[in-house]
Amino acid sequence: MGISYRFLAGGGAAAVAAGALAIGTLAGSASAAGGSMSLAALDAATSPAAAAGYQFVEIGSHEDRTFNQLLGINNKGQIAGYFGAGVPGHPNKGYEISAPYAQNDFQHENFPGSVQTQITGLNDTGVEVGFFSTQNNGNADNNFGFWRENGKYHEVNYPVKNAAKPPVDQLLGINDTGTAVGFFNDSAGNSHGYLYNISTKKFKLITVPGATSLTAAAINDKGTVAGFYVNAKGDTVSFTKTHTGKVTTIAVPGATATSALGLNDNGWVVGFYTTGSGDAAATHGFVFLPNGKFITNFDDPNGIGNTTLNGINNENDIVGFYGDAAGNTDGLVAFPPF
């Protein structure tokens, strides 16, 4: 899991992005409001006007009207997310929400005994993934991965001898075959992406040539993984890697950094990119299409230069979050125009 994501303080996806969620309700189901958008309509789309055809809806828990992030959406329209900024006294608290996305459709989901939890992804068979912390210090909190099914939680941490202290291990996505992806940080602070099979309990590292630090953020049912990495020059670029090992590099032209966070079975990739630096820095959502073209400036109309797209389903419904003029982080769902 944004603009200055505040994952439970710690590296990987959290360090590159950061964000927050919010509130709101929506009548109707994701599938009813969605539908798939044709590639023909988007082939040449590279401007804000392309994203304008999407309907943006704010969704978040009323338990925290200042910070919500929506991180994943499955083909049933169920959404994974959390509220709470993660600063001391304001811990992350996980949830799942189903259509019609009213407040009584929120289901609290927090790892037993944890202080903080984020639900980062979910598949169509009822399995969710995420990570939790036993701390809420607001800086360098420990992170541990987990998956959840039928109300039971299972902790997952890559077996590594030189782990970061405190440990940082997060599961960020899962497909319908039960293969999850995530990353861990080593003692040097570098991230390493991996696959985890929840049935066999086996791990496999994900590597990309030239990457010095890599986060695996999403996996589709075809076994393609999406994520981002830092190269030897210190640039953050994104990638997809198929189960056969084919790597595609994703970098928004003119961006100072590109981070892919979600993908679907259609081959659409979503994430965010950064322009400018310092006080002039801004983050924008993007969609990368199978034909190699981008939809850029895919931003929530209520955002102020900081939108992150975090997940996408096969209907091309998109979830994420943005920062508003009041300083809140608000969850967003973007439905295709047809």
**Cα distances (Å, whole numbers) of residue 66 to 21, 22, 55, 177, 327:** 7, 6, 22, 36, 8
- The closest alpha carbon to 285, from 247, 312, 266, belongs to 312
**Cα distances (Å, whole numbers) of residue 333 to 121, 194, 206, 330:** 15, 28, 30, 10
Q: CA-to-CA distance for 78 and 29, rounded, in angstroms?
A: 9
Please state whether the peptide bond connecting residue 166 to the residue before it is cis, i.e. omega within 30 degrees of 0.
yes
Q: How far out from the chain centre does Cα 160 lie?
A: 24
Sheet of strand 169-174: strand arrangement: 169-174, 179-185, 191-197, 202-206
Per-residue pLDDT of the chain (338 residues; tens, 9 = 90+): 332 233 343 333 433 333 322 222 222 222 323 333 333 334 334 445 456 589 999 999 999 999 999 999 999 999 999 999 999 999 999 999 999 999 999 999 999 999 999 999 999 999 999 999 999 998 889 999 999 999 999 999 999 999 999 999 999 999 999 999 999 999 999 999 999 999 999 999 999 999 999 999 999 999 999 999 999 999 999 999 999 999 999 999 999 999 999 999 999 999 999 999 888 899 999 999 999 999 999 999 999 989 999 999 999 999 999 999 999 999 999 999 87
Contact 250, 241 (CB under 8 A): no
What per-residue confidence (pLDDT) applies to 256? 96
Q: Kind of pairing, strands 225-231 and 211-219? A: antiparallel
Residues ≥6 apart with Cβ < 8 Å to 88: 136, 137, 138
In this structure, which amino acid lies at residue 120?
Answer: T
List, in sequence order, every residue forming a beta bridge with 26; answer none if it has no partner. none
Contact 241, 211 (CB under 8 A): no
**C-alpha count within 13 angstroms, C-beta hemisphere, residue 195:** 21
What per-residue confidence (pLDDT) applies to 124? 98
In this structure, which amino acid lies at residue 148?
Answer: R
Contact 56, 305 (CB under 8 A): no
Q: CA-to-CA distance for 76 and 73, rounded, in angstroms?
A: 8
* Secondary structure of residue 306 in the 3-state scheme: strand
First-residue to last-residue Cα distance in the chain = 28
Classify domain 13-335 by CATH architecture: 6 Propeller (2.120)
Q: CA-to-CA distance for 89 and 51, rounded, in angstroms?
A: 37
Residues ≥6 apart with Cβ < 8 Å to 156: 144, 145, 146, 147, 169, 171, 180, 182, 196
Helix H or strand E segment including 106? strand 106-108
Tokens of 193: 């992406």
**C-alpha count within 13 angstroms, C-beta hemisphere, residue 131:** 32
Domain boundaries, given as residue ranges, for the chain: 13-335
What per-residue confidence (pLDDT) applies to 32? 29
Conformational region of residue 16, where left means phi above 0, alpha means psi within -120 to 50, and beta covers everything else:
alpha
Residue 153: DSSP 8-state: E
Q: How far out from the chain centre does Cα 172 lie?
A: 7
Q: CA-to-CA distance for 221 and 225, rounded, in angstroms?
A: 10
